[in-house]
Structure 1
Amino acid sequence: MRQAKLFFIWTYALLGMMARRRCLLLTFLIGASLLGLMMKWGLLCSSWQPQLHIQKVCQDVASGVSIGNLCPALCQHGLVSSISCHNFYMGKEAVFSAIWDSSSVVFKSPRKTLIETDDLTQWLNNNSKEVPSEDEFSQMIRTNIKIKFNMTIDDLDAKKLSYFKFKNSIYWRRTEMANIWSLLQDNEYLAMTLYEKYDVFPKLVGSCGSMFAVQHLKSISGFWHLITLYDSKEEWRNRIKIALKIMELLNTLEKLPPDALHICDVKMSHFGITDDMKRAKYLDLDSVHPKSVVNKITGDGSACKQHSDCDFFDCRSFCNLVSSRCEFGVVNNNMQVVCEKIFLGWVSPGRLVVPGLLLGSHTPLALVSLLESCANPAAEPGAPRAAAPPQLAKRLYSILLQLSLPD
């Protein structure tokens, strides 16, 4: 009898131990799966990921598939150092910062897209296939820009875009064409190239294959530690100066050809400021498009049940509740979204969640009222769907300019 009792006790103990082990194993597997998915989606990254990406690019360089002015520094001379990856970049294959030529740069590589099946990529591995002529390649670039940015460029500009800026051997022309075409499929690279002279985006410093590098700018999210009820007057003025530079950037974006550029994914981390605090630039260009292109995205005729079904990130539109189709263009503007999400803060129904750049102990009530009008011009419930009027933006700029002056 005693032996039977001991047997049952031992059996239950064993089963309990096995259950705990299975629970621990299941927890480990779930955690590992979530970690893997977060890394795959770009929510998290590890220091070894940039090294693997560089290794892959350098293999392509060695096999003659990739060229560029950054290739020697990456693959031959070891001139790229202090490599660190970036979290929360879901639109890119890889994003990491590094030091190159004594400058801080950010390397980016677009996700693989349908260009892998494009003729221009196929002939790279098929020597018997003819390469597009220079005129054909220029026309392909012009067509690509017309589709993506609704912009018409002349033959001379298309020719300039069809070559890398650094000198290259004529024997590498087919590879150069393939690399350039791959880069021009990326919205970010294309926007930086097309709007380079306006100095509204980070400067493009070079490329290697489908990887490109841009100047590194300090994100304004680094000023979040200043957003406190106990900040000093000096910190408050710094935030006002940043807000003024952001408004100047938005004013420039509004006047760019062929029509206003919309920044449709607005986050604090997507704005950068130069070291001298004289200029703000927009850092993440995957969702930056001219208004005419955004109108096509939000009014593409797709099925909808509510207005938010027709939104493109922060570029908002309306659903035709009679036809249940997205038939309208973008109805808000950059100023409205920036007031809502950057200056005022993230707001849930009835309460403030995260204070914005211009909220703090020194914020005058008149400014709060103006920011609320800017963030929600029509005073409507839910997500605002109206553009901040130009006269309101002028008033806001004028008040901020006055507040930036020393007492």
Structure 2
Amino acid sequence: MKQLDYIHLRASVHLIKILKRKSTLVLIGGFFLIVFFRRKLVCTNVEPLLHINSVCTSFWNGVAAGNLCNELCQPEIVPSLACHNYYEKSTVFSVQWNHTNIVFKSAKKSSQTEIQNWPYTGGNFYQSENYYTNLIKTAVKLKFNISITNVEAIKLLYLYFGFKWPHKSREIENVRTLIEDNEYLALILYQRFDVFPKLVGTCGTLYAVQKLNTVSGFWHLMTLYDSHVEWIKRIKIAIKIIEFLARLESGLPEALLICNVKMNHFGMTDDFKKVMYLDLDSVHPVSIAGQITGDGSECKSHSDCDFMNCRSFCNLITLKCQHGVVNNNLQIVCERIFLGWVMSGKVMVPGLLMGPHTPHVLIELLEECANPAGEIGTPRAPATKEVGKRLHDLLVHITY
């Protein structure tokens, strides 16, 4: 009997250990699941569906407007949705729309408004159409240092031309939220330059853009094992990225800086002929980026004055951020995309152009591009056009 009790006791102890182990695994799994959702590492299609339902409810109640609302909010149509992770936006999802894939994004509500004195309450207008268009012109000047005409400002004011002034109360607040979203405004202002995806339309504070093929952010998982064919493919993508950076510096009202550079922020057109940039929340003209980094705020080190990947200097005498951006797009891309994650002078995670097929001459050129002044620590100098041309020419030569 005692032996049987001992066996039962051991079995109970063993069962308790198993349950504890499983409980621990469940808790750990639950913790990581919460982290993944909060950091947008994973997503579900329930979230975009709920967001569409919310926007459409606002549309049916006369609060939201836009050229896409009528089709998006038809009760008998259930859109084919796919959520997207790794985005800074609160809501990003793609939809099959008239046999074309488009991406919906939710406009960010700005903590610091560029549109002051926006007089609107409860559907009542206190000023004329001209007053609002002047506010929009001011906002565009402040955000992108571009002067637009009255006609261009009116186009921004009207999301849907089925309503005329003053019967526009259902869309006026939508307009304000959209105009204050850096990406939405950039899509409109630079549409004719063909550097960003095409804006399809809006519904409420949602806006839709053409869907491009995202350049993968996980090249480092395959670069050590990729074939020669894959290596050439990556070189061709790098060439297109360099050509894209050149388009950002010429032919625009002012050169643009991309201050939040990530691999999956680059998108490729279906014909594989052109790269565009997908996340425009941190895209600014050089003059505006310089105002951000040189805003006079207090600093103790140079990094205190940086705006994401756009770097600057701290005035170590006044201890104020008083300088514009000192690096450029090419330096950022060489450092973060082409070369990879560098620590203590060594590449820890290989970038797009690093792998077993990378010739030594290319490595040297990438290092010069990523750290033009050969600085110890964080590079704070622009890559020269001459280095950019040498890099482009070398990559083209390798593909032959």
TM over 0.5: yes
1:4-403 aligned at under 5 Å gives the runs 28=27, 35-36=33-34, 39-40=37-38, 42-76=40-74, 79=77, 81-90=79-88, 92-113=89-110, 120=118, 122-123=120-121, 126-127=122-123, 129-164=124-159, 167-170=161-164, 172-221=167-216, 224=219, 227-403=222-398
Q: The residue matched to 1:136 in structure 2 has which SS?
A: helix
If each structure's helix is expressed as a fraction of its own residues, which one has the higher value? Answer: 1
Residue pair 1:93, 1:112 contacting (<8 A) in 2 also: no
Pairwise CA distance, 1:297: 0.6
CA distance in 1, matches of 2:78, 2:199: 16
**Shift in alpha-carbon separation, 1:289–1:55, aligned structure 2, 3 A:** same
Q: Deviations over 1:237-273 (max 9, x none)?
A: 2111111111111001112543210000000000001
% same residue: 50
CA distance in 2, matches of 1:330, 1:319: 11
Which stretch of structure 1 is more off in the superposition, 373-382 or 395-404?
395-404
Q: The residue matched to 2:132 in structure 1 has which SS?
A: helix
CA distance in 1, matches of 2:250, 2:239: 17
Structure 2 gap segments, 5+ residues each: 1-8
Report the residue type matching 1:58 in the other structure. Answer: C
**Shift in alpha-carbon separation, 1:68–1:309, aligned structure 2, 3 A:** same
**Shift in alpha-carbon separation, 1:42–1:346, aligned structure 2, 3 A:** same
Pairwise CA distance, 1:178: 2.5
Say what the alpha-carbon RMSD is for the aligned residues.
3.0
**Shift in alpha-carbon separation, 1:43–1:113, aligned structure 2, 3 A:** farther
**Shift in alpha-carbon separation, 1:42–1:381, aligned structure 2, 3 A:** same
Pairwise CA distance, 1:188: 0.4
What's the TM-score once normalised by structure 1's chain length? Answer: 0.86
Report the residue type matching 2:163 in the other structure. Answer: S
Moved over 4 A (4+): 23-28, 30-38, 77-80, 117-122
Q: Deviations over 1:320-352 (max 9, x none)?
A: 122221111100000000011111111122432
Report the residue type matching 1:112 in the other structure. Answer: K
Structure 1 gap segments, 5+ residues each: 1-9
Report the residue type matching 2:37 in the other structure. Answer: M
Pairwise CA distance, 1:48: 1.4
Q: The residue matched to 2:80 in structure 1 has which SS?
A: strand
